[in-house]
């Protein structure tokens, strides 16, 4: 299995993340990639390459133009406005306010395009987000070209990003880009399976009214887990997308038993949907020692999960999402890949 990874992920490493009322070193940090690369090499998965240059047209097709312009120019505008620190959202369009018009003021614009306050933007964030998108695009082309699977070692992650919002450490939705690329390649029905602990609200939002891309997510119940405001089981899609969205929320403390049942349910629905290609939003924050999550999966469970996904028999693109138990992230992420290859 070929892995695609860009060194430019290092351009995004904010000084701080707002967590539990304190500014802490961000959980989503460059060393995550190092641990995964080390484990890939340790397990003989040495086929690791840099991405092709980013293709902007698919990103422009996925994201709203004003949002992309915001991401590209936010840092310069922020600095021109005399803001001393990194960009952190502070004012949001709240209930019964006008969420359709972006302010001119950069502080207002930041909150307009943000879905949460933990994710800072720095001077290098735009370039890093584009490099992560290029990683997903390049890995998708490998699968579209006939490979059984490929691993897009994306950083920053993407599954919380919508067409017009960033947050949850995400800026551009890499998995959605890959699903759209499969569609553009002529794959009639594509499935996105999100096994990150957190609901992939961005991916859901992007495909919610679409019947050609099936979205399934296993995640911490939204009444207890970020992103909180999407991810309920009664969200089943709208219009042409009715029935093409499957949320499988699980309660605090859920272990591999119920999690694997949810996975099997998702895989059965993906099979019934008739998917011809699969994108896996590969977050491993369902791990028992993850610092910001509440499932209790252990490392061998990720091997079994990979096997179950592999038995679907679809061309599969793995897009790295979350996972913050840094010492274990390599084992857990690569276990999914090895389980898949073993299926």
Ligand X SMILES: NCCCCCC(=O)NO
Residue numbers of the site for ligand X (CB under 6 A)? 118, 160, 168-169, 196, 198, 226, 283, 285, 292, 321-322
Closest CA to 171 of 161, 181, 184: 161
- Identify residues 187-226 at the interface with Zn ion (CB under 5 A): 196-198
Q: Name which position in 58, 227, 283, 310 contacts Zn ion (CB under 5 A).
A: 283
Structure tokens at 87: 């960009």
Does the protein bind Zn ion through residue 322 (CB under 5 A)?
yes
Does the protein bind Zn ion through residue 118 (CB under 5 A)?
no
Nearer to Zn ion, 78 or 197 (CB): 197
Nearer to ligand X, 292 or 328 (CB): 292
Distance CA 297, CA 253 (A): 9
Cis peptide before 227 (omega within 30 of 0): yes
Q: How far is the CB of 280 from ligand X (least distance, A)?
A: 13
Residue 292, contacted partner among Zn ion, ligand X, none, CB below 5-8 A by kind: ligand X
Distance CA 142, CA 324 (A): 28
Nearer to Zn ion, 235 or 285 (CB): 285
Nearer to ligand X, 215 or 273 (CB): 215
CA angle 324, 116, 111 (to 5 degrees): 145
Q: How far is the CB of 72 from Zn ion (least distance, A)?
A: 26
Closest CA to 343 of 149, 168, 183, 151: 149
Residue nearest to ligand X (CB): 322
Structure tokens at 192: 């996105």
**What values do phi and psi take at 97, rounded to 5?**
-105, 175
Does the protein bind Zn ion through residue 155 (CB under 5 A)?
no
Closest CA to 162 of 199, 212, 118, 124: 199
Judge whether 160 counts as a catalytic residue. Answer: yes
Looking only at the bridges linking them, the beta strands covering 190-194 and 213-220 are parallel
Catalytic residue among 12, 160, 199, 219: 160
Q: Choose the stretch contacting Zn ion; rule: CB under 5 A; options: 42-50, 79-87, 92-100, 285-293.
A: 285-293
Q: How far is the CB of 118 from ligand X (least distance, A)?
A: 4
For tokens 């061998």, the residue is 300
Residues in CB range of 16: below 8 A, 6 or more apart:
23, 24, 25, 26, 86, 120
Structure tokens at 161: 């990003």
Q: Choose the stretch contacting Zn ion; rule: CB under 5 A; options: 16-24, 36-44, 91-99, 316-324.
A: 316-324
Nearer to ligand X, 120 or 187 (CB): 120
Q: How far is the CB of 324 from Zn ion (least distance, A)?
A: 8
DSSP single-letter state for residue 234: T
Q: Name which position in 28, 180, 194, 285 contacts Zn ion (CB under 5 A).
A: 285
Which residues are marked as active site? Answer: 160
Residues that bind Zn ion (CB under 5 A): 196-198, 283, 285, 322
């Amino acid at each position: 299995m070929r892995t695609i990874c860009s060194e430019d992920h290092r351009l995004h490493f904010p000084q701080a993340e707002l967590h539990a009322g304190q500014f802490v070193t961000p959980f989503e940090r460059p060393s995550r990639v190092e641990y995964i690369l080390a484990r890939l090499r340790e397990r003989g998965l040495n086929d690791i390459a840099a991405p092709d240059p980013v293709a902007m047209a698919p990103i422009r097709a996925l994201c709203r133009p004003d949002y992309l312009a915001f991401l590209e120019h936010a840092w310069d505008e922020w600095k021109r406005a005399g803001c001393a620190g990194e960009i952190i959202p502070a004012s949001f369009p709240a209930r019964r306010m006008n969420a359709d018009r972006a302010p001119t003021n950069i502080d207002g614009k930041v909150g307009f395009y943000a879905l949460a306050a933990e994710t800072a933007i720095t001077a290098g964030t735009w370039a890093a987000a584009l490099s992560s998108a290029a990683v997903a695009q390049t890995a998708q082309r490998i699968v579209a070209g006939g490979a059984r699977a490929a691993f897009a070692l994306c950083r920053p992650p993407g599954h919380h990003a919508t067409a017009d919002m960033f947050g949850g450490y995400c800026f551009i939705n890499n998995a959605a880009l890959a699903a759209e690329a499969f569609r553009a390649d002529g794959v009639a029905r594509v499935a996105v399976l999100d096994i990150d602990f957190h609901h992939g609200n961005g991916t859901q939002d992007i495909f919610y009214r679409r019947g050609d891309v099936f979205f399934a997510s296993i995640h911490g119940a939204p009444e207890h887990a970020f992103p909180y405001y999407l991810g309920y089981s009664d969200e089943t899609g709208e219009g042409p997308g009715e029935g093409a969205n499957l949320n499988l929320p699980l309660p605090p403390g859920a272990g591999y038993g119920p999690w694997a049942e949810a996975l099997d349910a998702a895989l059965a629905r993906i099979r019934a949907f008739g998917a011809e290609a699969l994108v896996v939003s590969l977050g491993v924050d369902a791990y028992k020692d993850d610092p910001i999550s509440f499932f209790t999966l252990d490392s061998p469970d990720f091997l079994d999960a990979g096997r179950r996904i592999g038995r679907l028999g679809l061309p599969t693109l793995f897009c790295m999402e979350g996972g913050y138990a840094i010492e274990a992230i390599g084992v857990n992420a690569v276990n999914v890949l090895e389980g898949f290859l073993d299926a």
